[in-house]
Amino acid sequence: MTAATTAAPAAATAAAAAAAPDASPRLHDLVGIGLGPFNLGLAALTDPLDDVDAVFLDQADGFAWHPGMMIEGATIQVPFLADLVTMADPTSRFGFLNWLKTTGRLYPFYIREDFFPLRAEYDAYCRWVADQLDTLRWGRRVTSVEEQPDGTFVVTSRRGADGAAETWHARHVVLGVGTEPRLPEPLRRLADRHGPGGPVVHGADYLAARDRLRAADSVTIVGSGQSAAEIYRDLLDTTRVGDRPGHRLDWITRSPRFFPMEYTKLTLELTSPEYTDHFHSLPRETRDRLGREQRSLYKGISGDLVDDVYDTLYRLSVDGPVDSTLLTETELVDARWVDDDEQIELTLRHTQLGTTASRRTEALVVATGYAARVPSFLDPLGDRVDRDDLGRLAVARDYSIDGGRGRLFVQNAEEHTHGLTAPDLGFGAWRNSSIIASITGREPYPLERRIAFQTFGRPAGSTATATATPTEEARVTR
């Protein structure tokens, strides 16, 4: 489905409304804002439901999943069952296996004997699903969401083609705008100064800058997760001694090691409804601490890639020392542009030793991840949107953010309230099933409420004893 064909029904609706201003506008049960995998999955799951009239808006011209990291051969970090719909409805026509069958790839995938799809496959699969849905409206930039006296919403958007304003009326709104690239504070000034095409490249834009990075005399990568490792591995062969004398490729992380993502089965039970219940019930300070401590559970590097990096370094070292340095326990504390040398001077602090050193590089790749954002188009709702004491969205257990009214929901903006299930592709179908249940008052896709062998929190039948946490004790003694 193209942007032009999906725009036609909406344009006709807008024209009809202009011709008959007294006619009541169409009231959708649901307007989704943003079309990443999670809201695309919601669109696929609501498509066969007769009692859900939905429409989904996105400012892009079509679906694209992390195009800047579509490195050849890279896989996603969850099995194929973690597609858009299967964990909610294994019989859905929008499942990954059906895409493989339709495209003639089912038997090759079977013979491959690898549960983890290529990243390019996952992107193509999502675009295949998007092409089959007539509820998607591409090229729509949402500018405001306002609540009406009757509790419904008016969503205003502008078309990318001509900038014309359109309004969409809905009983419920689901935000799926995703996250935005995060830059450490010292690098924001450099990125703003040089702009796109400059020496500072976020991992999200890697492929567009790859040729330029390969031609640079020195490249430094900052980050500790899968994206940093994939970029380092992709650039590593260019450090071959003899081919590129003097070329440097460095990798810096503030983590104590280049750690693999933990993927043991009892650990995977943390991506469960029970653990999400437990995590959500904890005090805000405890949740924030756990979020930092649990990084290796979902922000590490796949073990195979860690081994491949080592094996590649070993292979390259046969011809002589590899001009590459891997630095752990090293934090980037400052960066400045040196005009005379056209290089970035990095100030690095070794967190274990407490020492500071400087290092220069011609180009810098920042693979420090993404951060949730509160879009400005929610501003008209004011205090109708729940926030915590740090200004973040205060997301209820049912993923709503509107004071328990159950009209305004979010996707992948709740890592600080729901934990590591927020960005997890495998849990997306469960969250969508929950949102659909809230919207319809029934469970078209039954929710599994207990799937773990473990018990999180207080065991059933035990007696709770009140014990002050260190934070609580501090409050008492002040």
Same domain, 90 and 147: yes
DSSP alpha helix (H) spans, 113-255: 119-131, 185-194, 206-215, 226-236
Measured distance CA(430)–CA(428) in Å, rounded: 5
Structure tokens at 170: 């809905």
pLDDT, position 240:
64
Inter-residue contact 188 to 44 (CB < 8 Å): no
Residue 453 lies in a domain: no
pLDDT at residue 475 in the model: 35
| pLDDT value at residue 229 | 95
State residue 15's pLDDT score.
44
Residue 346: phi, psi to the nearest 5? -95, 135
The pLDDT assigned to 6 comes to 39
- Do both 366 and 396 map to the same domain? no
Count how many domains the chain has: 2
For residue 228, the one-letter residue type is A
Residue 319 lies in a domain: yes
Give the chain's length: 478
**Does some domain include residue 473?**
no
Place of tokens 């430094």: 220
Model confidence, pTM: 0.88
Strand residue runs (E) in 385-450: 408-410
- Are 137 and 188 within one domain? no
Domain hosting 322: range is 181-261+299-370
DSSP reduced 3-state for 438: helix
Domain contains 475? no
224 & 352 share domain: yes
Query: Is 220 within the bounds of a domain?
Result: yes
Q: Which two tokens stand for residue 230?
A: 């994939």
Statement to judge: residues 27 and 41 lie in one domain: yes
pLDDT given at position 334: 92
Q: Among 354, 370, 386, where does a domain finish?
A: 370
26: in domain: yes
Same domain (yes/no): 327, 207: yes
DSSP conformation class of 201: E
Same domain? For 226 and 312 the reply is: yes
Q: Are residues 189 and 316 in the same domain?
A: yes
Which of 370, 394, 428 delimits the end of a domain?
370
Measure the CA angle with vertex 244, ends 241 and 247; round to 5°: 90
Q: Quote the Cα angle for 469-474-477, to 5°.
A: 125
Query: Do 16 and 63 belong to one domain?
Result: yes
CATH number at residue 327: 3.50.50.60
State the pLDDT at residue 342.
Answer: 87
Q: Which tokens go with 380?
A: 């008209």
- Asked if 383 and 366 sit in the same domain, the reply is no
Can you give the pLDDT of all 478 residues of the chain as single tens digits? 333 333 444 444 444 444 444 568 999 999 999 999 999 999 999 999 999 999 999 999 999 999 989 999 999 989 999 999 999 999 999 999 999 999 999 999 999 999 999 999 999 999 999 999 999 999 999 999 999 999 999 999 999 878 899 999 999 999 999 888 888 877 888 887 777 778 999 999 999 999 999 999 999 999 989 999 999 999 998 766 556 677 899 999 999 999 888 888 999 999 999 999 999 999 999 999 998 888 767 778 999 999 999 999 999 898 888 899 999 999 999 999 998 888 999 999 999 999 999 999 999 999 988 888 899 999 999 999 999 999 999 999 999 999 999 999 999 999 999 999 999 999 999 999 999 999 999 999 999 999 999 999 877 766 666 554 444 333 333 2
The verdict on 251 and 137 lying in the same domain is no
**Final residue belonging to a domain, choices 352, 370, 388:** 370
Domain assignment present for 284? no
* pLDDT of the residue at 253: 94
Residues 22 and 135 in one domain: yes
**In-domain check, residue 399:** yes
* pLDDT value at residue 242: 54
